[in-house]
Amino acid sequence: MLSALRSAAGTWVAKLLLLLLVVSFAVWGISGQLVNGFGGNSVITAGDTTVSPVEYRLAYDRQLAVLSQQFNTRLTRDQARSLGVEDQVLAQLAAGAVLDEQASELGLGLSQDKLATLTMSDPAFQGPDGRFSRQQFENVLRQIGMRPEDYLQNRGKVAIRQQIVEAVSDGIKAPDTFLRAVALYRGEDRTAEYLVLPKSLVESVEAPTDAALTEFFDKNKQRYAAPEYRKISYVSLVPEAIADEQAIGDEQVKQDYEQNIDRFTTPESRTIEQVVFADRNAAQAALDSISAGATFDSVVTAQGKTAADTLLGTFTKDRVPDQTVAEAAFALQANEVSQIVDGAFGPVLLRVTQITPAVVRSLDEVSPEIRKELAVAEANRILLDVHDNYEDSRAGGDSLREAATKLGLKVMTVEAIDRAAQRPDGSIVTDLPQSKELLDAAFESETGIENAPINVGSTGFVFYEVEAITPARDRTLDEVKDKVAADWRTDEVDTRLAAKAADVEKRLKDGAQIDALATELGLEKQTKRGLKRETDDGDFGRPGVAAVFGVPEGGSGVVAAPTGDAQIVFKVTEVFEPAGADANSIPDDARTSFASGMADDLLDQLVAKLQGQYGVAVDRSAIEQALAF
Burial bucket for residue 510 (CB in 10 Å: 0-12, 13-18, 19+): exposed
Report the pLDDT value the prediction gives residue 358, as an integer from 0 to 100: 94
pLDDT band at 221 (very low <50, low <70, confident <90, very high): very high
pLDDT in tens, 370-380: 999 999 999 88
d(CA 347, CA 277) in angstroms, rounded, equals 6
Measured in whole angstroms, the distance separating CA 54 from the mean position of its chain's CA atoms is 37
d(CA 337, CA 351) in angstroms, rounded, equals 5
The overall average pLDDT reported for the chain is: 86
pLDDT in tens, 602-628: 878 888 888 888 888 888 888 888 887
Long-range contacts of 114-123 (CB under 8 A, 24+ apart): 114/159, 115/152, 115/155, 115/156, 115/159, 118/155, 118/159, 119/151, 119/152, 119/155, 122/12, 122/13, 122/16, 123/13
Report the pLDDT value the prediction gives residue 107, as an integer from 0 to 100: 82
pLDDT at residue 343 is higher than 80: yes
Report the pLDDT value the prediction gives residue 3, as an integer from 0 to 100: 43
> For 320, phi and psi rounded to 5 degrees?
-65, 130
d(CA 56, CA 626) in angstroms, rounded, equals 7
Instruction: Please report how many Cα atoms fall inside a 13 Å half-sphere around the Cα of residue 311, on the Cβ side.
Output: 8
What lies within 8 Å, CB to CB, of 163 at 6+ separation is 103, 108
Report the pLDDT value the prediction gives residue 502, as an integer from 0 to 100: 96
pLDDT in tens, 313-330: 999 999 998 999 999 999
For 141, other C-beta atoms within 10 Å of its C-beta total: 20
Q: H-type helices in 415-548, by residue range?
A: 435-442, 481-509, 514-521, 541-548
pLDDT in tens, 59-76: 888 788 788 888 877 888
As annotated, the residues of the chain forming the CATH 3.10.50.40 domain(s) are 268-357
pLDDT at residue 355 is higher than 50: yes
**CATH for the stretch 268-357:** 3.10.50.40
d(CA 18, CA 65) in angstroms, rounded, equals 7
Element (H, E) at 290: helix 280-291
DSSP-assigned letter for residue 142: H
**CATH for the stretch 2-171+607-627:** 1.10.4030
Contact 533, 185 (CB under 8 A): yes
Report the pLDDT value the prediction gives residue 15, as an integer from 0 to 100: 36
Using alpha carbons, select from 268, 351, 354 the residue that is nearest to residue 310.
Answer: 351
Report the pLDDT value the prediction gives residue 30, as an integer from 0 to 100: 29
What lies within 8 Å, CB to CB, of 211 at 6+ separation is none
d(CA 437, CA 234) in angstroms, rounded, equals 13
Report the pLDDT value the prediction gives residue 144, as an integer from 0 to 100: 62
Contact 99, 165 (CB under 8 A): yes
What lies within 8 Å, CB to CB, of 23 at 6+ separation is 61, 65
Percentage of the chain exceeding pLDDT 90 = 54
Instruction: Please report how many Cα atoms fall inside a 13 Å half-sphere around the Cα of residue 254, on the Cβ side.
Output: 3
Distances (CA, A) of 29 to 34, 35, 327: 9, 10, 77
Phi-psi region of 526 (alpha: psi -120 to 50; beta: other; left: phi over 0): beta
Cα dihedral angle (310, 314, 320, 325), rounded to 10 degrees?
Answer: 50
| SS3 call for 543 | helix
pLDDT in tens, 120-156: 887 878 888 888 888 888 887 777 667 888 788 778 7
Of the candidate ranges 20-29, 387-396, 444-453, 485-494, the one whose mean pLDDT is the lowest: 20-29
| Packing angle of the helix pair 25-38, 620-627 (nearest 10 deg) | 140
Report the pLDDT value the prediction gives residue 345, as an integer from 0 to 100: 85
Query: What mean pLDDT is predicted for residues 462-485?
Result: 95
Report the pLDDT value the prediction gives residue 26, as an integer from 0 to 100: 26
| SS3 call for 466 | strand
Query: What mean pLDDT is predicted for residues 424-451?
Result: 93
What lies within 8 Å, CB to CB, of 316 at 6+ separation is 267, 268, 269
Percentage of the chain exceeding pLDDT 70 = 93
pLDDT in tens, 12-44: 333 333 333 332 222 222 233 333 333 447 889
Report the pLDDT value the prediction gives residue 629, as an integer from 0 to 100: 62
Long-range contacts of 247-255 (CB under 8 A, 24+ apart): 247/375, 247/378, 248/371, 248/374, 248/375, 248/378, 250/367, 252/374, 253/363, 253/367, 253/370, 253/371, 253/374, 254/363
DSSP3 helix / strand / coil % (the chain, rounded to 5): 55, 20, 30
Q: What is the CA radius of gyration of the chain?
A: 39
Q: Are β-strands 454-456 and 359-360 bridged in parallel, bridged antiparallel, or unpaired?
A: unpaired
Q: Are β-strands 269-276 and 311-316 bridged in parallel, bridged antiparallel, or unpaired?
A: antiparallel
CATH class of 229-246+375-470: alpha beta
pLDDT band at 8 (very low <50, low <70, confident <90, very high): very low
d(CA 391, CA 377) in angstroms, rounded, equals 22
Select the CATH number that applies to the domain covering 189-217+482-576 from these four: 1.10.238, 3.30.870, 3.10.50, 3.40.50.
3.10.50
pLDDT at residue 274 is higher than 90: yes
d(CA 380, CA 147) in angstroms, rounded, equals 58
Using alpha carbons, select from 585, 508, 600 the residue that is nearest to residue 192.
Answer: 508
Measured in whole angstroms, the distance separating CA 482 from the mean position of its chain's CA atoms is 38
pLDDT in tens, 553-581: 999 999 999 999 999 999 999 999 888 77
| ∠ CA 390-395-400, rounded to 5° | 50
Report the pLDDT value the prediction gives residue 133, as an integer from 0 to 100: 86
Note the pTM of the prediction, 2 decimals: 0.53
Report the pLDDT value the prediction gives residue 145, as an integer from 0 to 100: 67
As annotated, the residues of the chain forming the CATH 1.10.4030 domain(s) are 2-171+607-627
> For 279, phi and psi rounded to 5 degrees?
-155, 175
